Amino acid sequence: MWNSPKVGILGGGQLGRMLVESCNRLNIQANVLDAENSPAKQISFHDGHVTGSFKEREAVRQLAKSCDVMTAEIEHVDTYALEEVASEVRVEPSWQAIRTIQNKFNQKEHLRKYGIPMADHRELVENTPEELAQVGEQLGYPMMLKSKTMAYDGRGNFRVNSKADIPEALDTLKDRPLYAEKWAYFKMELAVMVIKTKDEVLSYPTVETVQEDSICKLVYAPARNVPEAINKEAQALARKAVSAFEGKGAFGVEMFLLEDNSLMLCELASRIHNSGHYTIEGCALSQFDSHIRAIMDLPIPAKSLEIRQPSVMLNIIGGATPDSHLKAAEHALSIPNASIHLYSKGAAKPGRKMGHITVTAATMHEAETMIQPLVDVVDEMRA
């Protein structure tokens, strides 16, 4: 199409793979840094990929040499390597944004300065039972003990129901930097994908997410039974939070809708996000398309971020057997309007995201009805 700059992607998991799908449709070469044969590399044949890890300084340097703009599918990358190469290539979003966001406690301290509402929280310094008990007195029970770093899919969270749980909580999260959060009594979890371009902060509509064991299971787009005013308010809050960081691209913002209809930020991610997968079928531009356009300064018509049809997304998570995700996908083949995405990660492990299914329909009720048999299948496999 045009002689486009090359994009370097740190991480070749499912998010990188779906970014590559978007790049491919625009004739943009995506150079992926990850292990040989990672999901993203499997669908992209050229000699620009780099074998290694996004946590290795040398591998990041090598990727920087082969591309014009660098981005990441994950926030747990070596930001010191990114800082170093930022003088040679553009890094989007900025390494500063990724560094602050990858530590959930620092992320919250930063957002606090911008007046973003969040659950009250306390840093732990010594990680002793006495210290956590003192925090428990301040925050009350239950409270959520959280790892500041390397957290994903709830691996890094421990619900502390009472003082008696403290030893187990500290043992489960031992050797990790910790903070504790006041329990958020939410009636619903909401999420908004924000796209930061060179001169605008855009947002997709507000969606509803359902977590099971702290892992995203279902996404309803738009959020069900949420008044337009709250949809707008959640988008505004998400854009305000993302505006606190430097750099371009997609950011996933997770929020709690409380009983009194007020909103609280749960956390945000400096990348494309599971809660935005529905945009592939639900919107004219997917979150992956928009991310690539944003980092390359290509136009993004705001209209293209609107939901064209109500959508429901179901994650296919590794279950009881190594092939249970394939059985789920097989069922989905016969469901009307179901789009199947398998990530080609090989054998499943319990809790690992192996794929997702999106159903779109003229009404949310219809989409829910169509996907329900598949939700039942997935639930049975888990049980």
**Footprint on this chain of Mg ion (rule: CB under 5 A):** 254, 267
Which residue among 12, 156, 249, 310 contacts ligand ATP (CB under 6 A)? 156
Q: Is 272 helix (H, G, I), strand (E, B) or coil?
A: coil
Nearer to Mg ion, 21 or 254 (CB): 254
Label the pairing between strands 178-182 and 215-221.
Answer: unpaired
How many Cβ atoms are within 10 Å of 106's Cβ, its own excluded?
A: 16
Which residue stretch of 47-55, 166-174, 183-191, 195-203 sits at the interface with ligand ATP (rule: CB under 6 A)?
Answer: 183-191
Q: Is 223 in the site for ligand ATP (CB under 6 A)?
A: no
Q: Is 181 in the site for ligand ATP (CB under 6 A)?
A: yes
Residue 39, preceding bond cis, omega within 30 degrees? no
Find tokens 């855009």 and name the residue.
202
- Least distance between Mg ion and beta carbon 254 (Å): 5
Which residue among 4, 172, 197, 211 contacts ligand ATP (CB under 6 A)? 211
Which residue stretch of 109-117, 145-153, 242-250, 317-325 sits at the interface with ligand ATP (rule: CB under 6 A)?
Answer: 145-153
User: Cβ contacts of residue 169 below 8 Å, gap of 6+?
Assistant: 132, 145, 158, 160
At residue 372, what is the residue type?
Q
At residue 348, what is the residue type?
A
Provide φ and ψ at 344, rounded to 5°.
55, 50
Round to whole Å and give the CA distance between 296 and 309: 28
Which residue among 63, 119, 230, 381 contacts ligand ATP (CB under 6 A)? 119
In this structure, are residues 8 and 64 in contact, taking their beta carbons and an 8 Å threshold?
Answer: yes
Q: Is 83 in the site for ligand ATP (CB under 6 A)?
A: no
Nearer to ligand ATP, 261 or 321 (CB): 261
Which residue stretch of 176-184, 282-290, 299-307, 364-372 sits at the interface with ligand ATP (rule: CB under 6 A)?
Answer: 176-184
Q: Is 141 in the site for ligand ATP (CB under 6 A)?
A: no
Question: With 0-12 CB in 10 A as exposed, 13-18 as middle and 19+ as buried, what is 36?
Answer: exposed
Nearer to ligand ATP, 44 or 287 (CB): 287
- The DSSP call for residue 223 is P
Nearer to ligand ATP, 30 or 144 (CB): 144
**20-49 mask for ligand ATP (x: CB under 6 A)?**
------------------------------
Q: Vertex 127, ends 123 and 129: CA angle to 5°?
A: 115
Q: Is 366 helix (H, G, I), strand (E, B) or coil?
A: helix
The size of the chain, in residues, is 383
SS (H, E, C) 58-116: HHHHHHHHCCCEEEECCCCCCHHHHHHHCCCCEECCCHHHHHHHHCHHHHHHHHHCCCC
Which residue stretch of 1-9, 19-27, 85-93, 152-160 sits at the interface with ligand ATP (rule: CB under 6 A)?
Answer: 152-160
Which residue among 254, 276, 287, 374 contacts ligand ATP (CB under 6 A)? 254
Nearer to ligand ATP, 19 or 119 (CB): 119
Nearer to ligand ATP, 112 or 198 (CB): 112
Round to whole Å and give the CA distance between 54 and 108: 24
Q: Which helix H or strand E contains 12, and what residues bound it?
A: none
Nearer to ligand ATP, 51 or 157 (CB): 157
Which residue among 61, 62, 106, 183 contacts ligand ATP (CB under 6 A)? 183
Q: Give residues in contact with ligand ATP (CB under 6 A).
A: 119, 144, 151-154, 156-157, 181, 183-184, 189, 211, 214, 254, 266-267
